[in-house]
Amino acid sequence: MRETSGRTRRTVLAGAGAAVAASIAGCSGLPFGADEATITGRQLSGVLEESPPSIPDRVPIGIDASYLDAVASELESALASVPTPFDATEVPNGAIRARLNRQSETARATLAGAGEEPTRWERAGSLRRARRETGFVVGGWAAIDDDRTIADVRAAGEAIRDDLDSFRRRWAYLGADAIEAVVVNAAIAGLVRSCIGGLNRVLSARERESATALDVAEADERLASARGELGDAVYLFDRLRGRDGVRSRRDALAAAADALVDGVAERRATTGLDEGAFTAEADREATPAERALRDLRDDIRRGDIGETRDAGAFPQAIVEAHDALATIGAVEALRARIDAGEAIDPASVEDVDTIRTRAREALVAVHADGAYPRLDRLQTHRLAAVLGYVDDELSHVDADDEIALSRLNWELRDYVRIEAVARSVGDASAAVARALERE
């Protein structure tokens, strides 16, 4: 339940898709002091009784169910073409056989679960994961059954690169209004960026004498991922281009990005976020609010929105500015709460309930009352997902198990962080909207 090097919980919370890294399920057997505050799984169930709010799709132009159904059908057919589970006759190597069988099970589970996603954008994301996993299985079997090689995968990658180049030549920052242009084109840009990263790895792969079917499978996994990302990017752009009133918003986005880069820099300086060293491990006695403040303060000092703007990636720069403004607002709010002595130092079940309730209510409020819902969802969609994931982690404690409240330090920190950022989203969205309205 402590941060380690590499992909930390803070990194997960700060990124697109948000999920919490560590489970507390194994904490129930750990000892605690006689005077230490505790909570049972049954009490936690009461805390988690109200579900996180359901946030509409982050991408506002809509994805046809028929498009997603076609993707799912394609992947089902690809998996059906592979005779899994493999036996020793089909795949003699035990390690390779086990890996391919596990990945086949994973792909089938991901594909089945995609239909249960609450929004079509999330379903599209699950289908991209299923495509990646399916690519691994199909590619590995092709290497065994049909002598597929790394060179074959590279050749397929070159074809996708040509398709990507063609798409990038016609892609423009279109939108029926500037906000739509930001949100949709930022989503497209994320897909294109991931596609480029995967393709670069495919095209740089080299055949080795010691290469196995798993090497081909891994290359095909990246190839399939790039293919799915490009397909979704093309689909979103074509949907956007076909909407009424759509025109280029590039100039408006460029001007807004300039204004927001300056605005974020000014807010950072005013808040004192450009000063001091990055924080190391938090004090063990720190409250959840103090832990959240530490992480938010460090997060806002990472990255450079100006570099994104200078690269001409205006939608992404605006989205990054929105995130930065919400984070700065959260820092200011938590500082004020801590300075006023209002930060909760959890010592009871009621304290845990209060912290979690505040997080949920903050999300509900901005979702229900926000003046700029399309901009708000740049944050609230992710925050709701993190809230749901933290809830799920806490729900793993068995009803009759008792754990020390100190074992929830990171989960309670996450709740405080969700609340603080959610309460700052409205102001961040208003600032971005003002910059975009200058067109």
Q: Is 272 left (phi over 0), alpha (psi -120 to 50) or beta?
A: left
Domain locations along the chain: 9-57+249-436, 65-242
Q: What is the pTM of this model?
A: 0.88
Look-up: residue for tokens 């690519």?
A: 135
Q: What is the pLDDT of residue 24?
A: 53
* pLDDT tens, per residue, the chain with 439 residues: 222 333 334 444 444 333 333 445 445 444 555 578 999 999 999 999 999 999 888 898 989 999 999 999 999 999 999 999 999 999 999 999 999 999 999 999 999 999 999 899 999 999 999 999 999 999 999 999 999 999 999 999 999 999 999 999 999 999 999 999 999 999 999 999 999 999 999 999 988 888 899 999 999 999 999 999 999 999 999 999 999 999 999 999 999 999 999 999 999 999 888 765 555 455 667 899 999 999 999 898 887 899 999 999 999 999 999 999 999 999 999 999 999 999 999 999 999 999 999 999 999 999 999 999 999 999 999 999 999 999 999 999 999 999 999 999 999 999 999 999 999 999 999 999 999 997 5
Angstrom distance (rounded) from CA 104 to CA 342: 51
Q: What is the pLDDT of residue 79?
A: 98
DSSP label at residue 335:
H
In the structure encoding, which two tokens stand for residue 80, read together?
């059906």
Q: What is the pLDDT of residue 56?
A: 86
For the record, the structure tokens of 94 come out as 């035990």
Q: What is the DSSP string of 123-167?
A: HHHHHHHHHHHHHHHHHHHHHHHH---HHHHHHHHHHHHHHHHHH
Dihedral sign (CA 205, 207, 211, 216)? positive
Strand pairing category for 174-175 and 38-40:
unpaired
